[in-house]
C-alpha cells in the first residue's frame, strides 16, 4: 500500500498535504540556512504544534531533518506529533528567547512520523471540537467563572490540554476529575489571555491580512489609549479594538514615528496673530507636517493650511511683537500632495495626437456629395 503521507524521497511528510499551513504560523526566516555546517552546529530542533504552541527538542538520533518534516517527539507521557520549523544554530537563539532555563526540560525527537502515527493523530484531533463543547457545559454546571477557549489533544491521544480564560483565580480541581472521567485522558489546564485566544483561533483583521498574533507575534506588549492620541485616532472602541476585544496591537507599530514627527509641531493651544486677525488650531496632518487653522475658535471658518515651519515663523514674529500680513507665506507654494500621474493630462490626448488628421479628412469628405445626394447644408448646393 502506498504511503500517501510520505513525500520528497521518503525523508518526511508532505508539507502541502494534511497540514498545508501548519508550519507557516509564527514562521521565522532562517537567514543562516545556507551557511555550511549550520545544521551540525547544534542538535536542537524547533517543532511547532497546533496553532501557536512551539517546543524545542534534541535530535539525539541524528535524524536528517528539514523544515516541514512531521516528527514524533517525546511527550508527558507518550509522544506528540509536530512540524519541524527550524534547524541549525538559529534554534539556540530562539530557545533563549523562549526563556528555557532548565536544559532538562528539553526532550528529544523519537523519529519521523509514520503513517500509523498520523492516523492516530488525526483521530485525536477529530475529537477536539466536541471535547471543547462538552467541557464548556461541564464547567458551567460546576459554576466556574471561566471560558474554555480551545482544546488540544496530544499526538497519541493520551493527553488533552484545555486552554481557558478567567478574570480571577479558579479552583478547577473538581473540573479536572470530571473531565478525566468523561474523556478518559490525562488533563492539563493552561490559562491564556484574550490576545492569546485570538491567536489560537486565528482570523483576519480590518487590514485584510491574517491576525498578527496568529502569524508572527509571539510576545505581547501593552497597548494604551495614548498610542491612539499620538496618532490622532478617534477614540472609538469599536474601531480601536481587535477581535480579542482589546486595543489593536498594530497601534504600537507607528506610534514612535508619530511622536518624533509631533515634536516638530507647535502646541495646539497656541494662537497665531496676523494683521487679518487671530487664528486657532483646527486639525493637523502629523506625518506631512501640515496644520490647518481656523479664524473662529469654535467653528471651522476660513480654514487655512500651512506648514509647521511657517507656523513656527509666525509664532516667532508674535513673540517679538510683530504680526505678519497674512497667515500664509507671501510666496506661492507648490502643493506637497502626491500627484496622480493619470490625472496630469487628458487620457484622450493620444486620440487627438494620432487620429486628428484622419478625422479631418473624413470631415472634409462630408462637405461634398455622398451617394449622389446633394449636400443640403451647403448654401451653394441649393
Nearest partner of 280 among 309, 253, 311, judged by Cα? 311
Mean pLDDT of 304-323: 91
For residue 22, the tally of other CB atoms under 10 A from its CB is 19
Torsion sign across C-alpha atoms 340, 346, 348, 350: negative
What pLDDT score does 86 carry?
86
pLDDT at res. 294? 92
Q: What average pLDDT does range 263-270 have in this prediction?
A: 90
Q: What is the pLDDT of residue 92?
A: 84
Q: Determine the pLDDT at residue 340.
A: 59
All cell numbers assigned to 9? 524521497
The 10s digit of each residue's pLDDT in 80-126 is: 999 998 888 888 888 887 777 777 778 999 999 999 999 999 999 99
Q: Which of 187-201, 206-220, 337-351 has the lowest mean pLDDT?
A: 337-351
The string of DSSP letters for 128-158 reads HHHHHHHHHHHHHHTT---EEEEEEE-TTSS
Q: Helix, strand or coil for residue 91?
A: helix
> What pLDDT score was predicted for residue 17?
37
- The pTM for the full model equals 0.61
- Is residue 367 within 8 A of residue 376, CB to CB? The reply is no
Q: What's the sign of the alpha-carbon dihedral 119, 120, 122, 127? A: positive
Q: Give the pLDDT confidence of 125-166 residue by residue, as tens digits.
A: 999 999 999 999 999 999 998 999 889 999 888 899 999 998
285: number of Cβ within 10 Å: 15
Distance CA 271, CA 292 (A): 12
> Chain-wide mean pLDDT for the chain?
80
What pLDDT score was predicted for residue 176? 92
* Contacts of the segment 237-244: beta carbons below 8 A, 24+ positions apart: 242/198, 242/205, 242/211, 243/198, 243/203, 243/205, 243/211, 244/194, 244/195, 244/197, 244/198, 244/213
Q: Kindly report the backbone phi and psi dihedral angles of residue 188, in degrees, each rounded to the nearest multiple of 5, phi listed first.
A: -135, 130
pLDDT, tens digit (0-9, with 9 covering 90-100), for 335-357: 455 555 555 555 565 565 555 55
Is the pLDDT at 3 greater than 60? The verdict is no
Q: Which of 118-127, 140-149, 183-192, 211-220 has the lowest mean pLDDT?
A: 211-220
> With 50 as the cut, is the pLDDT of residue 21 above it?
no
**Structural domains in the chain?**
6-114 (no CATH), 127-196 (3.30.300.20), 226-263 (no CATH), 272-319 (no CATH)
Helix (H) or strand (E) holding 304: strand 304-307
CA dist., res. 267 & res. 315, Å (int) = 10
Q: How would you classify the pairing of strands 186-191 and 290-294?
A: unpaired
Contact 190, 174 (CB under 8 A): no
What span, in angstroms and rounded, lies between the C-alpha atoms of 155 and 78?
9
* Per-residue confidence (pLDDT) for residue 9, from 0 to 100: 39
> pLDDT at position 182, please?
93
Residue 48, sorted as left (phi over 0), alpha (psi -120 to 50) or beta, turns out to be beta
Q: Which residues contact 268 (CB under 8 A, 6 or more apart)?
A: 281, 284
Q: Is the dihedral of CA 108, 113, 119, 121 positive or negative?
A: positive
Residue 64 pLDDT exceeds 50: yes
Amino acid at each position: 500500500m502506498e504511503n500517501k503521507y510520505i513525500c520528497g524521497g521518503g525523508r518526511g511528510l508532505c508539507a502541502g498535504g494534511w497540514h498545508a499551513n501548519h508550519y507557516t504560523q509564527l514562521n521565522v526566516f532562517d537567514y543562516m540556512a545556507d551557511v555550511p555546517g549550520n545544521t551540525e552546529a547544534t542538535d536542537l530542533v524547533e517543532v511547532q504544534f497546533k496553532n501557536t504552541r512551539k517546543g524545542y527538542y534534541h535530535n539525539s538520533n541524528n535524524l536528517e531533518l528539514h523544515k516541514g518534516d512531521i516528527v514524533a517527539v517525546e511527550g508527558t507521557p507518550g509522544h506528540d506529533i509536530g512540524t519541524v520549523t527550524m534547524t541549525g544554530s538559529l534554534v539556540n537563539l530562539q530557545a533563549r528567547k523562549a526563556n528555557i532555563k532548565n536544559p532538562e526540560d528539553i526532550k528529544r525527537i523519537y523519529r519521523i512520523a509514520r503513517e500509523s502515527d498520523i492516523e492516530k493523530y488525526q483521530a485525536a484531533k477529530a475529537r477536539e471540537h466536541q471535547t471543547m463543547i462538552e467541557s464548556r457545559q461541564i464547567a458551567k454546571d460546576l459554576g466556574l467563572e471561566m471560558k474554555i477557549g480551545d482544546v488540544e489533544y496530544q499526538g497519541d491521544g493520551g493527553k488533552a490540554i484545555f486552554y481557558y480564560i478567567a478574570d480571577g483565580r479558579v479552583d478547577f480541581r473538581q473540573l479536572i476529575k470530571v473531565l478525566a472521567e468523561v474523556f478518559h485522558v490525562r488533563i492539563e489546564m493552561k490559562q491564556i489571555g484574550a490576545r492569546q485566544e485570538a491567536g489560537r483561533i486565528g482570523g483576519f483583521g480590518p487590514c485584510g491580512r491574517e491576525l498578527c498574533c496568529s502569524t508572527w507575534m509571539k510576545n505581547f506588549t501593552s497597548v494604551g489609549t495614548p498610542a491612539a492620541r499620538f496618532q490622532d485616532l478617534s477614540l472609538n472602541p469599536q474601531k480601536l479594538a481587535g477581535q480579542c476585544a482589546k486595543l489593536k496591537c498594530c497601534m504600537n507599530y507607528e506610534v514612535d514615528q508619530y511622536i518624533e514627527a509631533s515634536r516638530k509641531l507647535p502646541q495646539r493651544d497656541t494662537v497665531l496673530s496676523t494683521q487679518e486677525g487671530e487664528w486657532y488650531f483646527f486639525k493637523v496632518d502629523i506625518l506631512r507636517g501640515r496644520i490647518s487653522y481656523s479664524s473662529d475658535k469654535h467653528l471651522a471658518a476660513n480654514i487655512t493650511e500651512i506648514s509647521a515651519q511657517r507656523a513656527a515663523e509666525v509664532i516667532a514674529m508674535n513673540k517679538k511683537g510683530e504680526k505678519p500680513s497674512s497667515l500664509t507665506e507671501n510666496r506661492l507654494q507648490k502643493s506637497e500632495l502626491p500627484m496622480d500621474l493619470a490625472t496630469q493630462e487628458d487620457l484622450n490626448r493620444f486620440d487627438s495626437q494620432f487620429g486628428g488628421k484622419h478625422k479631418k479628412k473624413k470631415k472634409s469628405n462630408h462637405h461634398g456629395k455622398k451617394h449622389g445626394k446633394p449636400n443640403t447644408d451647403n448654401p451653394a448646393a441649393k
